């Protein structure tokens, strides 16, 4: 079954501790932390000082998605703040390979992220060096958007490359994911699903997480 990563972008920002502990108790497999700089995406969220404050309050794996222009500038800070994985967008830097090397050198798992307008071919040379690929299933910047089904063929293409070359990376999806949209993504090979509004907007977040698990058994 797919691993579910609630996105704290949809949590209550003055009640992070309550909202993070709540999803931990509700069966979340990891925690997705969305960092937005107001430049790579039109929205802003928070930086590494917030991540450092989150680290001691949860045992969940911290999956940090940097929606940040030139993320190399901040990799060491996010690694020191307690990230378990750091994701960087191929569209956000001239030196994606260096950025991924910096992440691994900091002792953290490395992820490359692609926007809906970016083809898989653009990251093919990087696949031997990553622990996870994030396929954005909305244009990044905001929670609560509609899932883009055209992205399923990209998940399948990554799965095919993974099998053909015996690569070892997780495939994560992010944006508009719920217990319905997750099904075809899982069938195409997605292994981790980020869910913001579907989990935090639910009357019963534990049931929402369970429904995603059940839909992918
Ligand atoms: O990266 C993101 C936005 O850029 C969020 O993680 C994503 O949108 C999750 O929100 P939702 O599940 O409500 O679509």
Query: Rounded CA gap, 204 and 21, in Å?
Result: 14
> What's the whole-number mean pLDDT along residues 57-84?
98
pLDDT of residue 181: 98
Tens of pLDDT, residue by residue over 1-18, are 999 999 999 999 999 999
What's the pLDDT score for residue 172?
99
Rounded Cα gap, residues 127 and 124, in angstroms: 5
State both tokens at 98.
């260096």
How much of the chain is helix, strand and coil, in % rounded to 5?
45, 20, 35
With bands split at pLDDT 50, 70 and 90, how would you rate the model's confidence at 55? very high
- Marked catalytic residue, from 19, 84, 131, 174: 174
- CA distances (Å), origin 188, targets 38, 135, 168, 215: 32, 12, 16, 14
34, 63, 84, 179: the active-site residue: 34
Mean pLDDT of 27-32: 98
Name which of 217, 215, 211, 216 is nearest 26 in CA terms: 211
The response to whether 65 counts as a known ligand-binding position is yes
User: Percent of the chain at pLDDT above 70?
Assistant: 100
Identify the domain containing residue 72 by its residue range: 3-215
Alpha-carbon span 207 to 51, nearest angstrom: 27
With 0.80 as the threshold, say if the pTM is over it.
Answer: yes
Using the structure block, give the residue that is written with the tokens 């839909």: 215
Q: What is the pLDDT of residue 127?
A: 98
Find the CATH number of the domain harbouring 148: 3.20.20.70
195 in ligand 1 pocket by Cβ < 6 Å? yes
Q: What is the pLDDT of residues 123-169, one digit of tens each?
A: 999 999 999 999 999 999 999 999 999 999 999 999 999 999 999 99
Mean pLDDT taken over the chain: 98
DSSP 54-69: HGGG--SEEEEEEE-S
Annotation marks residue 34 as catalytic: yes
Domains in the chain: how many in total? 1
Would the CB of 8 count as within 6 Å of ligand 1? Answer: no
Q: Which residue out of 92, 194, 199, 211 has the highest number of ligand 1 atoms within 8 Å of its CB and is therefore the one to mutate?
A: 194
Residue with the nearest Cα to atom 5 of ligand 1?
143
ipTM of the complex as predicted: 0.96
What is residue 19's predicted lDDT score, i.e. its pLDDT? Answer: 98
pLDDT of the residue at 17: 98
Q: For ligand 1, say whether the CB of 200 is within 6 Å of any of its atoms.
A: no
pLDDT of residue 112: 99
Identify whether 29 is a catalytic site residue.
Answer: no
Distance 168 CA to ligand 1 centre (A): 25
**What is the arithmetic mean of pLDDT over 83-91?**
99
């Amino acid at each position: 079954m797919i691993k579910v990563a609630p996105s704290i972008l949809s949590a209550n920002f003055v009640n992070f501790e309550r909202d993070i502990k709540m999803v931990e108790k509700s069966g979340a497999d990891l925690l997705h932390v969305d960092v937005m700089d107001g430049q790579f995406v039109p929205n802003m969220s928070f930086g590494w000082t917030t991540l450092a404050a989150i680290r001691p309050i949860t045992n969940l794996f911290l999956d940090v998605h940097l929606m940040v222009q030139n993320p190399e500038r901040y990799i060491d800070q996010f690694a020191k703040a307690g990230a378990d994985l750091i994701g960087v967008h191929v569209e956000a830097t001239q030196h994606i390979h260096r950025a991924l090397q910096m992440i691994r050198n900091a002792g953290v798992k490395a992820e490359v992220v692609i926007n809906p307008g970016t083809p898989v071919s653009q990251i093919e040379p990087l696949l031997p060096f990553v622990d996870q690929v994030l396929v954005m299933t909305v244009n990044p910047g905001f929670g609560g958007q509609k899932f883009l089904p055209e992205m399923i063929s990209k998940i399948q293409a990554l799965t095919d490359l993974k099998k053909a070359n015996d690569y070892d990376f997780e495939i994560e999806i992010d944006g508009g994911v719920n217990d319905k949209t997750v099904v075809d993504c899982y069938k195409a090979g997605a292994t981790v699903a980020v869910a913001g509004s579907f989990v935090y907007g639910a009357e019963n977040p534990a049931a929402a997480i369970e429904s995603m698990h059940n839909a992918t058994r």
